[in-house]
Structure 1
């Protein structure tokens, strides 16, 4: 009991000190948006993890300080997972029904086009009729081509430089709502909207929360930069966590698998919608305007119907009004409403996990989950350091250990 109370007091001290330090930097009221909900949470500053509770679920919260302090990460740990395969299909992948419907619609369209072509061939009359019917056929084909090109452009989020912020956000929302896997390919989406979403990770594949934090920071920076090699957020994330290995190796290592027993649900969101853009390469926006919230997981099966669908629809309707909110008070109210909807969506996702929620106090308690893997890597590192600096096993057992011996040798080389 004493350890948990001390952890709570430490988290309160961190949040109080961080709120005092940030009150001098910005005077707008948007910072209080995430604290207006019913959940007992506070925004984590300075990259430190604090306790985060959401209606019975306990996790950790931190900001991606110092490069992107407005981006918040919430981490929930579950053990003894029983429905790993169901979670993958429900929370990560787009609905199979939507994919099947899209395939069926495409097949029907192809069949109709073939039937029309066959009918035209059978009903072909004198040349006068064929000449008169040719323009209509050309117009139909051109209209079909235009529709195909417009749909492809909307799905790929290929927004031109002349597109406004609302156009880019609408393209991203339409792609997300359609269940597209390449929903956030366009880097411009990260500049004009506040992206929220969650990822499911195999907890045994990670050694520390700091590694997870750095990986998120790296992939967000990559997505914010306008480059020709624009990738999806999920691709950048697993590459960052896997150290830049191949996509297939990263997926096999980090994503949800059949034998997963321990699971991390990582939620990321932007807590300061009134702040300036995260990167100079992103599209500029006024600090007094509210950016639309773009849900990354809107295409999953959980959010395709029912309560999740209605919340996503509310977010889509509020996006246009939020983009036009000029006053700081209106932006703060819109941010509070979006934060409440975001927490509802996150709660729906947490309720789908059939496992025991394990509270996390700090990174050291999390490291004990993958103790065997951590011990193996520590032993390998110690052996490499001993060979590199010539430290014997007896010297490594002295007070200070291997770390002190290595420091002394490094200092001696530079004297």
Structure 2
């Protein structure tokens, strides 16, 4: 009886202040509203224990606050919640107790009053962690990457990018902030030559490269750290060595004409493994045997060692532990500062965007809501833009 179900949903929504229309289509709801639907589903089934695994990954800052308000209300009503997150400030904000896992084992369980962000990180990785990335000033060069009025279709045939205009300067990290699914993946793929744009132009170093092939872009100085590292960034059946030379195996020092130079391949592979601290038994080890963090280090080693003029880094720390994340951040800053790379950083992690970027562009439903300097915008203002409010209506 759908009428009875609807009334029960309204009752639960009222008690827990989870406002949602029972008759609304789920696909028409915002991500935050869909999150509320999931919680109502659990409550409707009579559950007293909720297990939430990274529940804030696709929410704006305002939606995170709303979710936490609901969860605190539920805790006060006697519900138990297991909250799994890599965002330490969220753990500290919501939890009464915290349990730290490392290598699949419990390291410690402590009352939240006895821990700090620094202590949590130290227990997680076994050493001190630097949260503040040094961000030295650098002189900007010309636009390494420019997009003019870019449109592109999504996988479902609808426009995923709608008139994107952006410039990324040499020696700059431009962060792309936004709730997941608002065109970030399509934007990266258009720039990397993996998706055709239907309108507009892409420029690298003032040369139009619109709809060039990935190979042409590679040869012209573009490096790409893909969102799906196992699918798009590596070949699992290949060895560490083979994955390291994947993009430049036809060039010096890996090749002499049509012949592979195995001595140079071995030397360069060992150097990259050492320089980028890739934890592997040997260069002959199958890639699929490595951890996610070490696979990401391998991709970084391959892409950054090419000394690109333009780098597109899509979700470069997704799924990585604090230690591996810290390493990736240092490498991106070094690339920006020492080699003057024009870097487009796409991340769902707003803290990461704020930590690494010189400027921040916010994308919503395939449109840019505004571009701001990182030290001239608040988290609340970014959250509003991530929800679809243009910068002109905020400032």
How does the TM-score come out when normalised to structure 2? 0.25
More helix by share: 1
More strand by share: 2
Higher relative contact order (CA 8 A, sep 6+): 1
Question: Greater Rg, structure 1 or structure 2?
Answer: 1
How does the TM-score come out when normalised to structure 1? 0.24
